[in-house]
A and B are shown apart, each in its own frame.
Chain A
Amino acid sequence: MKKFDYLFRNKLLVLLFSGAMSTQAFADTWYDDIAVHGFATQDFFHTSDNNVYGESDDGISPGLTEIGLNLSYQPFDRLNLSVQGLYRRAGKVDGGIVRLDYGVADLTLLRFESGQLGIRGGRIKVPFGLYNETRDVAFTNPTIILPQGIYFDRSRSLLVSADGGSLYADYSTEYGDIGFKFNLGMPLGDNEEVLSTILGPSASGEFEAAPAFATQLSYELNGGEYVFAVSYMNLKLDYKPSANDFLGDGNTKIRPLLFSAQYNGEKFGLTAEYLYRWNYYSDYDVIPDFSFVSESWYVQGSYRFLPSLQGIVRYDAFSSDIDDRSGKRSQANGLPGHMAYAKDWMAGLRWDITSSWMVRAEYHRVHGTAWLAHSDNLDSSETKQDWNLYALQLSYRF
């Protein structure tokens, strides 16, 4: 993986260099066919208890850095090629390497007067809810920390992108625009954080993701003044036990269903999403087969005091098992009950200094620890149920 990342980094430089050369060497038509965009974000965190993105407890952690660079090229009308490299360093969960975030060949198969139908192949972003496809791009996110009951950061590797194919369709009518995506591919979910999230810190084997599908149907009115979407995913992780593992070669299936609604007015904005997620654990031998349902929802309101100054408030709730909302199962296993839930009140302020520079700050009052990353909080018995989180973000884009 490391070697691949290194190779990719060099390739990206070559691509960029050749892109820059061609814009100089050729006339305007070439310039119009190539587009280069990028972003860089640095976040700072402080918490009263518990760690997020490094050691934030009673200190300030500069633990989240995200830098992306993308290039898109249109060799002919029906074909678009795009690639994005992402550098990400996130506390102890993500060590700071460059990855291929997406690399997509997009071919339009059918053109209608009111839309198109096409296919995409390569490494494709996973459509899930309102924010997942651009979850690492600060400018496109409503807050520094996305609602964690839905956009988990610690198990993000299952959600960011997948290697495979996608069928998509766009259709515009007088009564709004309809979009559809069906993606089939291999999620990149192989990190330790996913393992400890699902099987606990004592599991010593490895997870291998099976091909998964993700689909989304969206409906937008008035050019996006109202947005509605339904997303569904079907993920399966096969467990490969280590030599003396107490667990058998079982598997875990995760099936999230997400409903999204958004209003984008001139000044006022209102967003809500509701997640219902089925989880199935099978064939782990020592653990009897079982299943449970997780639930999360949030409501978020925003107001633009000025075109460049926006205030935002959100309430976000997550229960990892709707039949055990207080965490009795965690307690029976000697873990804190508050690992089973998280309720997060947040308020923030965003200032778009220019169209390229943005700074924002936010405060979270959190009850519960369900979405804390294990890598940043190795001893869960030391985590606290009620805690404060302060975050500051500086971001640049072009």
Chain B
Amino acid sequence: MSDTYATDIVVNSSVPEYKVSLNKTRAIFTMRQRFWPNGEKIKVFTLADDHPLHQVFTKNNLHMFPHQLRRVWDRITFSGIGRVPIVVGSEEEMLEKVANTPNAIGYLSNEFENEKVRLFISQ
């Protein structure tokens, strides 16, 4: 599955352009980094743990495994210390959410066309 398509991290066009390291990108998706450099709250969107695209994204873009993210998110969810990403039902919904939510971040497979969404540059 992971050979058939690649994923890109995408953000709403309101997010300031800046280059982010792999570790900072992980910090965003593990909810340790909760604000953009301009002080706005980051809105994180994700697909379900068992969605093929989520598995590809976790491995290829974060160099992690879905169960590692789950460990971190569960700890937040059930100890009252913050918020976890909002789970969307499909890739179409992901595009729609990231396009229409200021300060949003998510991921999509290959090409998408939406002027309100752009690639997030992670090194």
A, B assembled together: yes
* Bound CA span A7–B71, Å: 33
**Which 7 A-B residue pairings sit nearest by Cβ, starting from the closest?**
A172-B27, A77-B41, A133-B79, A223-B26, A82-B80, A102-B80, A111-B35
> Which of A68-76, A201-209, A241-249, A273-281 lies at the binding interface?
A68-76
Contact with A along B66-92 (1 / 0, CB 8 A): 111101101101111111101000000
Task: Summarize A's interface: helix, strand, loop or mixed.
Answer: strand
Instruction: Give the most central of B40, B48, B62, B86: most A CB within 10 Å.
Output: B86
Name 25 A/B residue pairs within 8 A (Cβ), A-sorted: A35-B83, A35-B84, A74-B83, A77-B41, A80-B83, A82-B82, A84-B78, A102-B79, A103-B80, A106-B80, A115-B27, A115-B32, A124-B80, A125-B79, A133-B78, A134-B75, A139-B74, A140-B78, A172-B32, A174-B21, A175-B23, A222-B63, A222-B64, A223-B68, A224-B30
Residue contact A177 to B32, C-beta cutoff 8 Å: yes
Q: Is B43 an interface residue (CB 8 A)?
A: yes
- Scoring A37, A140, A168 by chain B CB atoms within 10 A of each residue's CB, the highest score goes to A140
> Per-residue 0/1 for A96-113: is the Cβ within 8 Å of any B Cβ (1 yes, 0 no)?
000000111010100101
Whether A37 and B67, one on each chain, are in contact in the complex, defined by CB atoms closer than 8 angstroms, is: no
Q: How far is the CA of A106 from the CA of B76 in the complex (A)?
A: 12
Q: Using a CB–CB distance below 8 Å, which chain B residues touch chain A?
A: 21, 23-24, 26-27, 29-30, 32-35, 37, 39-41, 43, 48-50, 62-69, 71-72, 74-75, 77-84, 86, 100-101
**Contacts A137-B78, A222-B64 hold; do A72 and B35 have CB atoms under 8 A apart?**
no
The CA of A386 and the CA of B29, in the complex, are separated in Å by 46
Q: How many residues of A contact B (CB 8 A)?
A: 53
In the bound complex, CA of A234 to CA of B37 (Å): 38
Query: Given that A225-B68, A355-B48 are known contacts, is A106 also in contact with B24, CB under 8 Å in the complex?
Result: no
Specify the main secondary structure of chain B where it touches its partner.
loop
- Nearest Cβ on chain B to A127's Cβ, whole angstroms: 9
Most buried by A among B33, B63, B74, B86: B33
The residue of chain A having its C-beta at the shortest distance from the C-beta of B27 within the complex is A172
Docked pose: A176 CA to B30 CA in angstroms: 12
B23 and chain A: residue at smallest CB distance: A174
B83 touches A264 (CB 8 A): no
Q: Smallest Cβ distance from B72 to chain A, in angstroms?
A: 6
Decide: A264 and B79 in contact? CB cutoff 8 A.
Answer: no
Min Cβ gap A398→B in Å is 10
B71 to chain A, nearest CB (A): 6
State how many angstroms separate the Cβ of B10 from the closest Cβ of chain A.
Answer: 17
Distance, CA A137 to CA B83, complexed state (A):
17
Give the contacting residue for B81; candidates A32, A39, A77, A120; CB below 8 A. A120
Asked if A190 lies at the interface with its beta carbon under 8 angstroms from chain B, I say no
Instruction: Determine whether the beta carbon of B81 is less than 8 Å from that of A224.
Output: no
Beyond known contacts A104-B80, A223-B29: 14 more, CB 8 A cutoff: A39-B78, A68-B78, A70-B77, A82-B81, A111-B34, A115-B27, A137-B78, A175-B23, A177-B23, A222-B63, A223-B62, A264-B67, A304-B67, A355-B49
